[in-house]
Structure 1
């Protein structure tokens, strides 16, 4: 088995306007995953725009830009990751229409937070893996069937190759066992 151990390589962002609460959740995750903390919705959007964030732990009730607003903005921006609401706001029927991936009521204990991070890591890993397999299969068959000159002449082929590399790197980082990736690479997609 290769890859990471548990959630160690997962990039998690804790978002809560109450510094003590955000820092407490970050402390629960320290050593378990790569964790950063911000204290406002605006800072959360900046952090997600500036770096790869796999999982956002998001408070719903914040002054200024609420967690609900952040969630909507993440969806609008095409955020590729998972969002877990961690909040003292009692869920109502409105949560049925909200595009979050999990919901924890405060106070959430260390084991629950870590379990949710691991679960969301696995889901994101498999989503990324599926996307990678689709993109890489297309790239591999074109590389096998077309000569190298055609690859260099076509910008879209280069973009697909770069996308495949990014997806593979992220999938390998998120998976605890990358054997499935190794088996995928062993398939000959060339001429018959």
Structure 2
């Protein structure tokens, strides 16, 4: 089962909203620290895509890459280049998501490599991201050449709401 990648437009987001909502919800319920706290329902998940991602994609300042396996949304990642004039060389990686049912198949790596190719084409020469410290995504980013610039303790509330987790700030020069 090979994953296929697609650049989603605002229309694609509307059409595939249930699948995108299910992806985000599955990741949050699996413990992903991506900005949401349990309980996290379908309405909140779909609102994120409609109120946050869709407007930025429609304005042409964010890219949404979606991985599909056998027609099912298996993962997604965003590239945000809505920067100030003195930062036109950089972009931010946002919300790398892989449905727990599709993990350990190379989908996250595939998404990140495609995102980097898109960043180069913009052209953007510096990518930044943050990830929960010691999370399973941190070794992936390191293996892709991202460099740790630092860590911030007690940065975000864990999805279960039971503790504050540190975040690691990373970058990659393309």
User: What TM-score comes out, normalization by structure 1 length?
Assistant: 0.27
Q: By percentage of residues, which structure has more strand?
A: 2
Q: Which has the larger radius of gyration?
A: 1
User: What TM-score comes out, normalization by structure 2 length?
Assistant: 0.29
